[in-house]
């Protein structure tokens, strides 16, 4: 079994804004492309254009219809990948030591040379973030693009996970949660960032910024949005109020 580090120097992870994610799946495709050509075995597909396609993905987007109190429902797009937990159960159950958490930055990785594809890590992960690559015979997971974020041979603006660089809505943010002055720490503090399934006790590093209520089909806005509209003054305020009446 693999031991977890007592502490990590950094806590690199993602803050995902559920308010701005549009469910376009650009992050899914860019993740698939980058990791298929990266340091590990390619993320394989079987019968990709046939009747029963099967593929390995490290990032997926789920869509839900959420009911608001007093309003109609709204669609929430929910991206999900490995959360790089502080108390990662996928690491401690690994019988070969293939799964491990790095002490320098907190990233959870898989040494594919040691992995025997037993699937215990997938059973232990409460988030369904592990996938067995059937063709490679090993478990795969999000690496936070560890081969990219430290790569000094690419422009500095590209030294972020591929999903972050690709997101057209700016819904994904990358940074060090151990630093209270980092961009992700400030976002979580300002927006009330949440853990996914905190009752599982895994202490996930990745955080979710909750979606804000939207107007219903009758044009009635939530109190929060009404407060925002009242703050707009001058010509833009007049334009905003005029468009609401159309």
Q: Is the pLDDT of residue 147 over 70?
A: yes
Segment 105-142, tens digit of pLDDT: 999 999 999 999 999 999 999 999 999 998 889 999 99
Q: Is residue 220 part of a domain?
A: yes
Contact by Cβ (8 Å): 94, 108: no
Range 222-230 average pLDDT: 48
For residue 73, what pLDDT is reported?
75
Segment 81-113, tens digit of pLDDT: 999 999 999 999 999 999 999 999 999 999 999
Residues 158 and 245 reside in one and the same domain: no
Q: Which of 146, 147, 102, 109 is nearest to 9 (CA)?
A: 102
For residue 36, what pLDDT is reported?
87
User: Per the structure, how many domains does the chain have?
Assistant: 2
Range 38-60 average pLDDT: 84
Place of tokens 């907190």: 106
Segment 163-178, tens digit of pLDDT: 999 999 999 999 999 9
Q: Is residue 171 part of a domain?
A: yes
Q: Is the pLDDT of residue 224 over 50?
A: no
Domain range enclosing 230: 215-246
**Structure pTM?**
0.83
Residues 169 and 234 reside in one and the same domain: no
Residue 187 binned pLDDT confidence (cut-offs 50, 70, 90): very high
For residue 239, what pLDDT is reported?
54
Residues 142 and 228 reside in one and the same domain: no
Q: Is residue 226 part of a domain?
A: yes
Of the two residues 213 and 166, the one the predictor is more confident about is 166
The pair of three-digit structure tokens given for residue 240, joined into one six-digit string: 């905003």
Q: Is residue 54 part of a domain?
A: yes
Query: For 165, phi and psi rounded to 5 degrees?
Result: -65, -30
The pair of three-digit structure tokens given for residue 159, joined into one six-digit string: 């030294």
């Amino acid at each position: 079994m693999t031991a977890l580090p007592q502490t990590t120097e950094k806590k690199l992870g993602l803050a995902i804004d559920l308010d701005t994610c549009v469910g376009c799946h650009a992050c899914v495709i860019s993740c698939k492309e980058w990791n298929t050509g990266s340091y590990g075995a390619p993320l394989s597909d079987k019968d990709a254009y046939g009747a029963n396609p099967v593929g390995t993905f490290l990032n997926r987007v789920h869509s839900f219809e959420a009911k608001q109190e007093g309003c109609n429902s709204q669609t929430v797009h929910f991206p999900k990948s490995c959360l790089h937990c502080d108390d990662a159960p996928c690491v401690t159950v690994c019988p070969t030591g293939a799964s491990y958490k790095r002490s320098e930055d907190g990233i959870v990785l898989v040494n594919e040379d040691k992995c025997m594809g037993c699937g215990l890590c997938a059973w232990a992960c409460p988030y369904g973030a592990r996938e067995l690559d059937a063709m490679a015979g090993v478990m795969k997971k999000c690496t936070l693009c560890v081969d990219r974020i430290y790569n000094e041979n690419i422009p500095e603006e590209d030294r972020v996970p591929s999903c972050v660089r690709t997101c057209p809505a700016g819904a994904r943010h990358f940074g060090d949660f151990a630093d209270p002055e980092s961009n992700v720490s400030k976002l979580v503090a300002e927006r009330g960032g949440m853990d996914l399934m905190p009752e599982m006790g895994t202490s996930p590093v990745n955080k979710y910024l909750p979606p804000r209520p939207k107007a219903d089909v009758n044009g009635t806005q939530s109190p929060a949005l009404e407060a925002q509209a009242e703050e707009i003054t001058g010509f833009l305020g007049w334009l905003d109020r005029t468009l609401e009446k159309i």
